[in-house]
Chains A and B, each alone.
Chain A
Amino acid sequence: MPEKTLVSDITDDVIVPGVKKKDPIVVAHAVSRRFGGLTAVDVAHLEIPRGSITALIGPNGAGKTTFFNLLTGFDKPNTGNWTFKGKSLAGVPAFKVSRMGMVRTFQLTKALSGMTVLENMRLGATKQGGENIFISLFKPLWKAKEDEITERAMQLLAKFKLDTKKDDYASSLSGGQKKLLEMARALMSSPELVMLDEPMAGVNPALTQSLLGHIVNLKDEGMTVLFVEHDMHMVNTIADWVVVMAEGKVVAEGPPSTVMSDPAVIDAYLGAHHASDLGTIEGQLEVAEEMESDLIRSEVEQDAEAAGIAVPTHEPAHSTDAASTPVDGEEKK
């Protein structure tokens, strides 16, 4: 497995939520977003380390997607400011954020289904003069660039094993392939920071391993990655740093090895699941499994024993199966 960035390369300070990073690419401060009475995001301070892979985790409804939306200009916060490469992004529209090198994907895939896979890819390219209405009328003016773009698109598609589908409509792809296409498309612009919202959700288990590889490659190519994920195995495997959100706040952060046993994290997950219908022993064990946390597991088992409930046998195998990944489908209509 890949080289992980050392904790000491990320920060020297005591690791608490909001800890300063040596070389942050994104710095967010006092960012909050309310929907009516609900405070979806309330991040006091957060820095994303440059050149590493950061995972953003947290139970459903924790505000991860909303935080993504705020950082990338798709939504406006009620308070706060944040910078990317030292430049303030407050009030910068989404398309400019993207042009500055901060490109995101969406939790609910947004493959452009009425267009072919190749056209999807080409759309991700930047600096195509032919996107200007006047230049577009004269093919010789944009033909050369188009060929260049197409070549790059084909390279990326080959990497993501989508090259044979280049002329298919995106609507004909499977859910996982659409995720891959969306990620490949985002890479067309050679961004500096790639933000992936649940890249694994719905992806065929056979593909997940190669997807992991792709993400690690991004880091090797010098990009910074921030991704939201529910699959703790994946987080453990590739993330250099983990940020945990619950009820809009950053409740913990740190290297994957330590953050998983942070009591605040356990509380966050158990709390969230208690609040929902998953307040059963099975549900809690599922959470434990999801988090690969023996601590939670033992806690739950103790509770159960105390209450005189038979504890179901534990199947240690974690699952990268899409079906077990919680999907919050309430995002958009």
Chain B
Amino acid sequence: MNGNFIWLTIGQIFDPTVAAYALATIGLVIHFGFTGLLNFGQAGFMAVGGYAFAITSVIYDWPLWASFLAAILAATVFALILGIPTLRLRADYLSIVTIAAAEIIRLSVKTPEFSDVTGGSEGINGAARAFNDVNPLPEGRWGLMGTPLVYNQDQWWVRIVGWGLVALACLLVFLLMRSPWGRVIMGIREDEDAVRSLGKNVFSYKIQALILGGVLGGLAGVVFILPRSLQPDNYGTQLTFFLYTIMLLGGAATVFGPVVGSILFWVTLSLTDGLLSLGIEAGVLPLTTTQTGPIRFIIVGVALMLLVIFRPQGIFGKKKDLHFA
């Protein structure tokens, strides 16, 4: 072990997984931060998007654009199925229904009965093929030579597209939230009856917000599986909880909060990992190397608690940016 983990930590800043988490969190920010929808099933949206993409591209050999479209459509349909019945109910019902729906998705895709299509508990591998086929970058490896931050053309490609999507999503949220549409959305977060009394179709706005955030979650699901294989157990409730942590790190009702939060989240994980390993090697810490994993998650859990209690507006947020309580 050496100082290599510092580089790994820096590498998180462009990592496609970090981009995927940021993108999913942007969706969550639309749901929770701006509209006040308590969606505890963002992992389900990611799963739906990821599976739609992987199944259409790997199993049915659809062209890339069609697979992307499939991911978007699947997330939209999922949002409609969840939203139409529940958005009229009390806020905490949505949380229970979404978390249950996400679990239903995960358990269903895992079951061997559907494994012809979903790959069962082993998931689907190779979803990136069609994506890498359209890679315009010339073959080769670039980056900071002499450091581990050197990537080949496909690795660059997924990083560019992943972060490009994040940038687009940020722009979208920025444009929407400064507009009259965003005003209605934020009004709903504050008090939906008041907004209703002013003649706005609250239900329709909530559905729109749910779909929009859900589609971003679905696209995040696609970005998430491009550098790895699709595995059902990645989409447990824990994933949603990580996204909540990221959202609260960056600030729940902000445009760039999810980006900052995601990078911060992963950098912290990476650093603690590295530091713990160093400590263990130096014999300072009475742990085994395999115990560093749980410690990271304990840190995440405790961080989530402390954030909500002491800095609900996010690490960098101002008190007046606090829109939930």
Contacts and interface: CB of A to CB of B under 8 A. Distances in A.
Interface of A: 72, 74, 93-96, 98-99, 103-106, 110-115, 119, 122-124, 126, 128, 130-133, 136-137, 139, 142, 146, 169, 182, 185-186, 188-189
Given A105-B197, A132-B181, A136-B181, 5 more contacts: A72-B197, A103-B199, A106-B193, A136-B180, A189-B199
30 contacts: A72-B197, A74-B196, A93-B201, A95-B199, A98-B197, A98-B199, A103-B199, A104-B197, A105-B197, A106-B193, A106-B194, A112-B187, A112-B190, A112-B195, A113-B190, A115-B186, A119-B183, A119-B186, A123-B187, A123-B195, A126-B199, A130-B180, A130-B181, A132-B181, A133-B181, A136-B180, A137-B172, A139-B179, A142-B180, A185-B198
Nearest to A127: B199
Given A104-B197, A106-B194, A169 B187 contact: no
A61 B172 CA distance: 48
Interface in B5-60: none
Contacts of A131: 180-181, 183-184, 200
Contacts of B172: 137
Nearest to A73: B196
Contacts of B179: 130, 136-137, 139, 142
Most buried by A among B179, B183, B199: B199
A137 to B, nearest CB: 5
Nearest to B180: A130
Contact of B197 (A94, A136, A142): A94
A84 to B, nearest CB: 14
B257 interface: no
Nearest to A74: B193
Given A103-B197, A130-B180, A114 B186 contact: yes
B208 interface: yes
Q: By DSSP majority rule, is chain B's interface helix, strand, loop, or mixed?
A: helix
B176 A98 contact: no
Interface of B: 172, 175-176, 178-184, 186-187, 189-191, 193-202, 208, 212, 320, 323
A122 B178 CA distance: 13
Contacts of A112: 186-187, 190-191, 194-195
A128 B208 CA distance: 17
B198 A98 contact: yes
A213 B256 CA distance: 47
B216 to A, nearest CB: 14
B193 A133 contact: no
B306 to A, nearest CB: 23
Contacts of B186: 112, 114-115, 119
Nearest to B208: A133
A49 B247 CA distance: 53
B187 A136 contact: no
Contacts of B197: 72, 74, 94, 98, 103-106, 110, 186
A94 B189 contact: no
Contacts of A132: 181
Contacts of A114: 186, 189-190, 323
Contacts of A139: 175, 178-179
A110 B202 CA distance: 15
A50 B186 CA distance: 35
B198 A103 contact: yes
Most buried by B among A131, A137, A169: A131
Nearest to A332: B193
Contacts of B176: 133, 136-137
B199 A146 contact: no
Closest 10 CB pairs of A and B: A136-B179, A136-B181, A130-B180, A110-B194, A112-B190, A98-B199, A99-B199, A131-B180, A94-B196, A128-B180
A74 to B, nearest CB: 7
Most buried by B among A74, A114, A128: A114
Contacts of A113: 190
A189 B190 contact: no
Contacts of A130: 179-181
A95 B175 contact: no
